[in-house]
Amino acid sequence: MGRPVAVAVDLPRLELDRPFTYLLPDDVEAPVGSVVSVTFHGRTVHGWVLGETEDVPARVLPVRRVLSKEPAFDERALRLFAWMRERYVVPLSVAIDRAVPPRVASEEGGSSPPPPEIASPPPEVLGRYEEGGKLLAACRGGGGVFVVRPLPADEAAVCVEAVVATVAGGREAVVVIPELDPLPGTAAAVLEAAGPAGVLFAGGHRRVRYRTWLEILRGRYRVVVGTRPAVFSLVRRPGLVWVHREAHAVHREERTPAYHPREVALARAEVEGAVCVLAGLAPSAHAAALVDDRSAVMVRAPRARERAAAPLVETTRPADQDRSTRLATMLRDARGAFLLVSRRGYGTARICRACGEPARCAVCHGPIVVREGREACAVCGAGGRCSACGAADFGVERGGTERVEEWARGVTRAPVRRVDDGTAAGPEAGEVVVGTAAAVKDLGPRSIGLVGILDADRARRRPGLEAPEQVLATWFEAAAWAGPRAQGGRVLVQTREPGDPAIQSLVRWDPLHFHRRERARREEAGFPPGVPLFRVLGSPELEEALRALDPAHLLATPLGGQTVCLVAIRPDALAAFRGRILDLVDERIVERVEAEPRL
């Protein structure tokens, strides 16, 4: 007759989010994670085996075919996928599909040699940090959550030491990085220390990605380094999940489910008894809240060492076009500089000279900017034409990377270079680089002398719930390039509000000063750091149905006969929330659910 097995069918619809039972022939093996072909309402679809089941309905169809020669995940991963399903209110099949790379059948059925040992001696850095010994002990054979704020020169070394300690304790380590190009200095240092026992799981051809995924699952590597999807790497004995520069904006997944590696790492630490480390020169509001609530241990250098390793930060009032007299003076004398500007181009069109109306794109009504000598819409790219009269003559407010580059060439004798997209080499001593936040990367220790933050007020007022903390993290990462104050490292912040908490945090070289204020602001707004947030679209009855759950906070807005609700849910109420959402989907009250929307 066959064995009944539960299958998650690959149909990404909430109303179908439950296991379906199929019969597997007795002589066929299909462990958890195997890909199968099944019949569903007259269609042939793929699915994943979740294990044998006792839930056998009256009518059961057979599994048409077992497609995979080896499973793409195991029971440990299934527990993590179940957590994702609940946390982000998505079908289990969507969670699996997001975590597991696309299958390439020809890569299955192989074997991998046992992983080699790491021979490199670890750096001895963490022992000089407050609570660093506790982190090392946990890496060797324990668990817990740690927030690590390294000194700029130690950023790679503290990660390498924790990874080596984890491997020495008989477990494996995963290091998640925000970007791949260029490879962060921390990632390069970890891979060098791991040697053949380490692998980079990021980018590349789908065949290479799937092969690497299977080799990790087979136990070939002790250390995995990679971008966002690497947080799901199924190492045999997970001991450490290290999220590098965890406040970086690129970490968050844009597609459904919009997971953040920070949250997945925290879940893995709890489910698998591993260590989760959230690391960065400036932690996120979520990480800072974990420390304040004693859910995480802060690991940092003694305050005197932090101050000594930091550059000297001063503020000055800006003039027109992102310049100031103080900046010009410092730039003439600097041995090198990085000038951080929040916008690209030469300027922004403000008014049409022909009709006097505000400058707006004739195609999409977006803003018109001047870049590379051409006026064009910043949204759709269409040529600059006034939406009111069609003219192409605008009054332009000058300012941006191109304008700053032009000005800097007239101020300094050093070579001046502009970096807009973040793919060019980083700043070196002896040159002046003008760039946006995209140019701020983990390039290893730098000591270029001067970092200028030219439009701090514009940057910190960017819209978005998480924008202030991400801007602050970028400032700290860029400011670290100046070098220690004892070596002449200087940072100039141009601002009209030097008392702002974010700017004072940079001056004091202490991001927690900002986070104490930020947490109060977020809590007052009803969206505290770390509390799950959802945008739900549905019928007019939606608000009343969600309020019955007693959410942490709820905002409802009518929209064309429908209702949009922003709702914050306490972590211990997620299961009830998800169950109620599924009921409301069946009742046609909920149309769409979006976890962690960009606000």
The H or E element containing residue 470 is helix 467-479
C-alpha span between 553 and 547 (Å, rounded)? 9
What CATH topology corresponds to 3-73?
Answer: GIY-YIG endonuclease (3.40.1440)
Domain ranges in the chain?
A: 3-73, 126-306, 310-345+399-523, 533-595
Q: pLDDT of 561-577, one tens digit each?
A: 899 999 999 988 999 99
Give me the DSSP letters along 392-436: --EEEEE-SHHHHHHHHHTT-SS-EEEESSS-S----TT-EEEE-
Q: Are the beta carbons of 265 and 144 closer than 8 angstroms?
A: no
Q: Are the beta carbons of 440 and 477 closer than 8 angstroms?
A: yes
CATH class as words, domain 533-595 = alpha beta
Q: Are the beta carbons of 66 and 30 closer than 8 angstroms?
A: yes
Question: If 0-12 CB within 10 Å is exposed, 13-18 middle and 19+ buried, where does residue 13 land?
Answer: exposed
pLDDT at 424: 66
Contacts of 226 (CB under 8 A, 6+ apart): 174, 175, 176, 177, 200, 201, 202, 233
Does 533-595 match 3-73 at the fold level?
Answer: no
pLDDT at 114: 80
CATH pick for 310-345+399-523 out of 3.40.50.300, 3.90.79.10, 3.30.360.10, 3.40.190.10 = 3.40.50.300
Name residues of the chain where pLDDT drops below 70. Answer: 1, 422-425
Closest CA to 166 of 200, 118, 212: 118
C-alpha span between 595 and 593 (Å, rounded)? 7
Q: pLDDT of 477-528, one tens digit each?
A: 999 999 999 999 999 999 999 999 999 999 999 998 899 888 888 888 888 9
Mode of pairing for the β-strands spanning 490-494 and 450-453: parallel
State CA 207 to chain mean position distance. 25
SS (H, E, C) 63-115: CCEECCCCCCCCHHHHHHHHHHHHHHCCCHHHHHHHHCCCCCHHHCCCCCCCC
Q: pLDDT of 536-595, one tens digit each?
A: 999 999 999 999 988 999 999 998 889 999 999 998 899 999 999 999 999 999 999 999
C-alpha span between 448 and 482 (Å, rounded)? 5
Residue with tokens 């009209």: 496
CATH of domain 126-306: 3.40.50.300
For the whole model, what pTM was predicted?
Answer: 0.92
The type of residue at 401 is T
Q: Which residues pair with 45 in a beta bridge?
A: 38
